[in-house]
C-alpha cells in the first residue's frame, strides 16, 4: 500500500537511537535561541538596573557604591559605560524584537543556510549602535560633571560662578 515510505521516518526517535536531550530538541528549532536571547538579555539587564537603582536610592554600599568616587579613572569610566550600555540594552532590545523576529522569518525564507547568521548580525549591529551611543553618553556625563553641571547622582547643578553672579530670585526663575 505505502511502498515508498520508510516506517522509521514516521517515528521521530529511531528504534536504535536514544531520545533527544532538551538541548538537542531546542537546537532543532532555530527560532528558540533567538526568542530566548530576546527575553533573557533584557531580563538580566533589568535585574542589574533594579539592583543598582535600589542601592542608589538607599545606602549606596552595594552595586552602585563605585559611583561615589572623587577620581574617575579607567575602571570607573568602564563601569559607568557598562551601566549605560546595560540600560540601553535592557530598554532598546525589546523595542527591536518585533523587527528582529520579522527579519528572521524573511531571512530564513530567502537564504536558509545564512538566515540565522543574518539575524544575529542585524541584532549585533543594532546593539553596537547603542553601545557606541553609551560611549557618547558616558563622555557627556563626565564632561558635565567636570564642569560641575551635574552631581554624581546626575542631578542638575548651578555652577558657583553663575550662582555668585546673579541675585537669588533672578536665578531661580
Q: 72 and 120 in contact (C-beta within 8 Å)?
A: no
Tens-place pLDDT, residues 102-144: 888 888 788 777 777 888 889 899 999 999 999 999 899 888 8
Percent of the chain with pLDDT over 70: 70
Using CA atoms, how far residue 27 sits from 21, 69, 80, in Å, is: 10, 46, 36
Q: How far apart are CA 104 and CA 97, in angstroms?
A: 10
The DSSP output letter for 19 is P
CA distances from 74 to 17, 43, 77, 78, 142 (A): 55, 28, 5, 6, 12
Q: What is the pLDDT of residues 64-73, one digit of tens each?
A: 777 777 677 8
Query: What is the pLDDT of the chain when averaged over all its residues?
Result: 77
DSSP string spanning 103-157?
HHHHHHHH-TTTHHHHHHHHHHHHHHHHHHHHHHHHHHHHHHHHTTSB-TT--B-
Where in the chain are the domains? 18-152
pTM: 0.63
Question: Which of these, 83, 89, 29, lies nearest to 51 by C-alpha position?
Answer: 83
The grid coordinates of residue 122 equal 542585524
Phi and psi at 156, nearest 5°, equal: -65, 140
Is 102 or 9 the better-scoring residue by pLDDT?
102
- Which residues are bridge partners to 156 per DSSP? 150
Q: What is the mean pLDDT of residues 15-30?
A: 61
Q: What is the pLDDT of residue 161?
A: 59
The pLDDT-based confidence of 44 (bands split at 50, 70, 90) is very high
With CA atoms as reference, report the closest residue to 80 among 160, 143, 7.
Answer: 143
Amino acid at each position: 500500500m505505502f511502498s515508498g515510505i520508510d516506517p522509521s521516518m514516521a517515528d521521530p526517535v529511531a528504534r536504535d537511537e536514544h531520545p533527544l536531550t532538551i538541548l538537542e530538541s531546542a537546537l532543532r528549532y532555530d527560532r528558540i535561541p533567538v526568542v530566548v536571547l530576546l527575553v533573557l538579555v533584557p531580563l538580566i539587564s533589568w535585574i542589574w538596573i533594579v539592583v543598582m537603582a535600589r542601592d542608589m536610592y538607599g545606602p549606596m554600599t552595594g552595586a552602585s557604591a563605585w559611583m561615589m568616587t572623587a577620581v574617575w579613572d579607567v575602571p570607573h569610566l568602564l563601569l559607568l559605560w557598562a551601566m549605560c550600555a546595560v540600560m540601553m540594552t535592557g530598554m532598546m532590545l525589546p523595542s527591536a524584537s518585533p523587527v528582529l523576529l520579522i527579519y528572521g522569518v524573511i531571512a530564513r525564507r530567502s537564504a536558509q543556510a545564512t538566515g540565522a547568521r543574518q539575524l544575529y548580525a542585524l541584532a549585533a549591529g543594532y546593539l553596537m549602535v547603542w553601545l557606541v551611543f553609551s560611549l557618547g553618553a558616558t563622555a557627556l556625563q563626565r564632561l558635565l560633571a567636570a564642569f560641575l553641571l551635574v552631581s554624581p547622582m546626575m542631578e542638575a547643578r548651578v555652577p558657583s560662578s553663575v550662582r555668585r553672579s546673579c541675585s537669588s530670585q533672578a536665578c531661580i526663575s
